[in-house]
Amino acid sequence: MNPLTKTGPLWGVFWMLTTGLLFVMVTVLVKILGTRIPASEGAFLRYVMGLVFFIPMMGPLWRRAREFDRVTLGLFGLRGLVHTVGVALWFFGMARIPLADVTAINYLSPVYVTLGAAIFLGERLAMRRVMAVIAALIGAFIILRPGFREVGAGHLAMLGTGLSFGISYLVAKKVSETCGAGIIVAMLSVTVTIGLAPLAIASWVTPNPMELLILFGVACVATGGHYTMTLAFRAAPLAVTQPVTFLQLVWAVSIGALFFGEPVDMFVVLGGMVIVAAISFISWREAVLKRKALTPAVSATKF
């Protein structure tokens, strides 16, 4: 039997483990890239190279796009705009703060989605979910510890990233009512590439061959991560795979310490654990109540 079609909790955990490793590798590659290439340019080149994987879809995408009404086109444009901001902030923050901080703060995206669903989509927030959201925000406070550590521009950029990706996910949920997943992903790639282009041109620094190779690696690994994440969602419920995302933080801490000389901050680990526990609880409650899941996996909001 083809392993790509197998289902069950163990396969779901396996594919989510693979997804976590691939997304950690994305952060490692961007960390290696450094700060010589401006964040907007690095993000733009990553998306331009990523469009290679969508070339077979361009014909059907163009024909389908001509059928979109103004509301759908507006939603795609809105998602492209907020995702553009999120990606640029991610590249900016990634090169300036430890890998563990990046990973832990990015766990907040599903929390933003939960709050946004209540505010904009009329989703009901039961007391258990409110308590879980409060717990996640406490986890973020543990990570940042304002007043006890320096909260730099990189940390603030990552908070903005999580908010932007959360909004992007909510818009995607809305668009998914009328459009297929392939169209949604392809439209995101096209709109973000267009959105990043003027920002990249305004601060252009000619990349050398090694920098181009690293950015192509980012595009390949990120695309692979989204594919294995889809396999994880197909294999097992989110309530099973969500807790596995905590291992991304373990890998980020280990790689940061071993290869980049970053100190192991146990407060970051603790805060990340609190956030993942809160998100996992919300996902579990959605499964128990047999309601349509709205809370995404941590990985689902990544660029």
Kindly report, residue by residue over 207-262, the tens digit of the pLDDT: 999 999 999 999 899 888 878 887 887 887 776 777 788 888 888 889 889 888 88
| Residue 42 exposure: Cα atoms within 13 Å on the Cβ side | 29
255-263 contact pairs (CB < 8 A, 24+): 255/24, 255/28, 255/99, 256/98, 256/99, 256/100, 259/28, 260/31, 260/98, 260/99, 262/98, 262/99, 262/100, 263/98
The tokens for 224 are 């692979």
Q: Which residue has the higher pLDDT, 124 or 141?
A: 141
- How far apart CA 129 and CA 235 sit, in angstroms, is 26
Does 303 score more than 60 pLDDT? Answer: no
Q: Predicted confidence band at 295 (pLDDT cuts at 50, 70, 90)? A: low
The CA–CA distances, whole Å, from 48 to 25, 191, 196, 212 equal: 19, 11, 10, 11
pLDDT value at residue 119: 79
Place of tokens 């280990």: 254
Does 144 score more than 70 pLDDT? Answer: yes
**Full-model pTM:** 0.82
Task: Read off the amino acid at residue 56.
Answer: P
Average pLDDT over residues 273-293: 77
- How far apart CA 163 and CA 182 sit, in angstroms, is 24
* 299: nearest Cα among 240, 250, 235, 248: 248
pLDDT value at residue 301: 59
Percent of the chain clearing pLDDT 90 (strictly above): 23
- How far apart CA 270 and CA 136 sit, in angstroms, is 11
**Tens of pLDDT, residues 120-135:** 777 777 788 888 889 9
pLDDT value at residue 45: 92
Percent of the chain clearing pLDDT 70 (strictly above): 91
The CA–CA distances, whole Å, from 255 to 100, 108, 130 equal: 9, 21, 34
pLDDT value at residue 290: 63
Residues 6+ apart with CB under 8 A from 290: none
Q: Predicted confidence band at 102 (pLDDT cuts at 50, 70, 90)? A: confident
Q: Which residues of 258-277 are buried (b: 16+ CB within 10 A; e: fewer)?
A: eeeebeebeebbebbbbbbb
Residues 6+ apart with CB under 8 A from 98: 256, 260, 262, 263, 265, 268
Would you give the DSSP letter of residue 203? T
- Taking the domains of the chain in order of start, what are their residue ranges? 3-301
3-state helix/strand/coil string of 286-298: HHHCCCCCCCCCH
Q: Mean pLDDT of all residues in the chain?
A: 84
Average pLDDT over residues 63-72: 78
